[in-house]
Amino acid sequence: MNERPLSTAIRPSACPGLLRIVPALDGGICRIKLAGGAISAAQAVAVAEAAQAYAGGVIEATNRANLQIRGIGAEHQALIGALLAAGLGPTTAAGDDVRNLMLSPSAGIDRQRLIDTRPLAAHILDTLQSHPRFPELSAKFAVQLDGGEALAMLEHHHDLWLSALEREGQLLLAFGLAGCPVDKPLAAVPLAHGHALLVAVLELFLDLARPEQTRMRHLLTDVSLADFLAQLAPRLSCPLLNVDGWRRPAGAAPRHIGTYPQAEPGRVYVGAGTPLGRLDPAMLKGAAQLAEQYGDASLRLTPWQSLLLPSIAVADAPAVTAGLAQLGLLCSPDQALAHLIACTGSSGCGKALADTKNDALQLAALLQRQGRQPDVHLSACPRSCAAAHVAPTTLLAVAPGRYDVYLRDAALPGFGTLHARNLSIEAAEALLDARPRSNTDD
């Protein structure tokens, strides 16, 4: 990366970035946005060493397939400099906030993909950072590019989503606003016009949105979808195509933990979960060493707070899995901890009402004894920072060690139906154990 005064163009925001370190109870937080969730082994080592040298050694895998370093001390610029030297920064300072593009963790290698999204993603990321108007977008404004992969996060809402489909031998990109690829699409364009569509949508959003309307869903309270499409069409060089009747297949359970075949014969990717979304430097360094020894010297972060090592020879997969497990990563979906999400909690957040990380470890141990693996989200306050979509079961803290229990209900806003109040972790586990497995293990 060229030497330049990147910091001069950083805007105020509550969201951490690579160039903007925000304070928390446990020190500063730096968020490293990864292109499509991918990071080289050398870059992963650089993150681990920076966390060790300038912070408390806590590295987080986020639900947007990025990394965060927590507990940063006074040497902000030294940490930022180390990450920039590793090539982990934006191409422009103002572009750091808007590098919010989610791909499948198995982009380009997934056996069920319709397209390799990576070339278009690289073009989009370059434009997000270089377009003179896109720094006006909120740091939370996000785009998803879905290539039809089997391994895809289909529940996170995005301001704009694009999803590949094939119709009469032609590859198209269906798209929608303020939703997910499994929603009904608004229309489609030929794949070659996908980049132009994104630019037109984002420019139109900026033209129409009031300053307080920072997300697409805010704008759509004033502007109907039909009106938005009517104003979008003249900005495109191709007609919008009707794809009524097409819906993106929902797919099976996520395949982000375990060993799965790639499109390339004889190659697999090996996935492992991070315990409650956290890594220490030894874990990340060790995973990087395994990727160099057995794979293509890269790692891919996932929206499930796990990581993948791609391009592993089939015969080497057991050794890679054993190595990841020895590092403390979660290598089997039978581990209850692999199904729990917990925010930072009271150890690092001033708004937290409970120590969710430790409470989640206690809950995982209780569930493991019962042989249960329900998907549970522990949130220390109503902001739900750790989960980008509603979990089947949410434990919302009301006091240290005490939680209200919610069960997901698509017909209700927020966490769903309030099922029980002010339970201890033991009582919450007993409630989960008493419920039919089909209700909690989805």
Domain CATH for 269: 3.30.70.3340
- Count of CB atoms situated within 10 Å of the CB of 393: 27
- Count of CB atoms situated within 10 Å of the CB of 81: 14
Least confident of 22-31, 37-46, 249-258: 249-258
405 within domain boundaries = yes
pLDDT for position 436: 72
The amino acid sitting at 40 is: S
230 within domain boundaries = yes
Do 224 and 262 belong to one domain? no
Domain at 187, CATH number? 3.30.413.10
Do 379 and 325 belong to one domain? no
381 within domain boundaries = yes
The residue ranking higher by pLDDT, 9 or 19, is 19
Least confident of 11-20, 124-133, 138-147, 381-390: 11-20
Do 348 and 326 belong to one domain? no
**pLDDT per position as a tens digit, 282-291:** 999 999 999 9
What is the DSSP annotation of 406-438? EE--TTSSTT-EEEEEEE-HHHHHHHHHHS-HH
Six token digits for residue 234:
């003249």
**pLDDT per position as a tens digit, 325-352:** 999 999 999 999 999 999 999 999 999 9
CA–centroid distance for 126 within its chain: 20
Could you tell me which residues are beta bridge partners of residue 32?
67
104 within domain boundaries = no
pLDDT for position 440: 41
Do 330 and 343 belong to one domain? no
The mean pLDDT of 186-205, rounded to a whole number, is 98
Percent of the chain with pLDDT over 90: 90
- Beta strand spans in 168-226 (E): 170-179, 187-190
Please say if the pLDDT value at position 24 is more than 90. Answer: yes
Is residue 1 very low, low, confident or very high in pLDDT (cuts 50, 70, 90)? very low
Please say if the pLDDT value at position 5 is more than 70. Answer: no
pLDDT for position 193: 98
Tell me which of 169, 201, 235 is where a domain ends.
235
Q: Are 240 and 188 in contact (CB under 8 A)?
A: yes
Do 141 and 230 belong to one domain? yes
CA angle 359-346-82, nearest 5°? 110
Is residue 435 very low, low, confident or very high in pLDDT (cuts 50, 70, 90)? confident
Do 143 and 217 belong to one domain? yes
Do 351 and 436 belong to one domain? yes
Count of domains forming the chain: 4
Please say if the pLDDT value at position 206 is more than 90. Answer: yes
Q: 9 Cβ partners below 8 Å, 6+ apart?
A: 92, 93, 94, 135
Is pTM, for the whole model, over 0.75?
yes
Please say if the pLDDT value at position 410 is more than 70. Answer: yes
Least confident of 167-171, 298-302, 386-390: 386-390
Please say if the pLDDT value at position 215 is more than 50. Answer: yes
pLDDT for position 14: 72
Do 346 and 289 belong to one domain? no
11 within domain boundaries = yes
**pLDDT per position as a tens digit, 83-116:** 999 999 999 988 999 999 999 999 999 999 999 9
Tell me which of 289, 312, 335 is where a domain ends.
335
The amino acid sitting at 242 is: N
**pLDDT per position as a tens digit, 54-63:** 999 999 999 9
Six token digits for residue 45:
């080592």
241 within domain boundaries = no
Q: What is the average pLDDT score of the chain?
A: 94
Please say if the pLDDT value at position 379 is more than 60. Answer: yes
Do 267 and 223 belong to one domain? no
The mean pLDDT of 370-389, rounded to a whole number, is 93
Please say if the pLDDT value at position 424 is more than 70. Answer: yes
Question: Using CA atoms, how far apart are residues 77 and 74, in angstroms rounded to an integer?
Answer: 9
Domain at 16, CATH number? 3.30.70
Do 228 and 274 belong to one domain? no
Tell me which of 335, 357, 383 is where a domain ends.
335
Q: 386 Cβ partners below 8 Å, 6+ apart?
A: 63, 277, 341, 342, 343, 344, 356, 377, 378, 379
- Count of CB atoms situated within 10 Å of the CB of 258: 15
52 within domain boundaries = yes
101 within domain boundaries = no
pLDDT for position 9: 55
Question: Using CA atoms, how far apart are residues 14 and 17, in angstroms rounded to an integer?
Answer: 9
Question: Using CA atoms, how far apart are residues 66 and 208, in angstroms rounded to an integer?
Answer: 30
Is residue 437 very low, low, confident or very high in pLDDT (cuts 50, 70, 90)? low
Question: Using CA atoms, how far apart are residues 207 and 419, in angstroms rounded to an integer?
Answer: 44
Please say if the pLDDT value at position 8 is more than 50. Answer: no
pLDDT for position 12: 62
Do 331 and 359 belong to one domain? no
pLDDT for position 254: 77
Percent of the chain with pLDDT over 70: 95
Residue ranges making up the domain that contains 89: 6-94
Do 73 and 124 belong to one domain? no
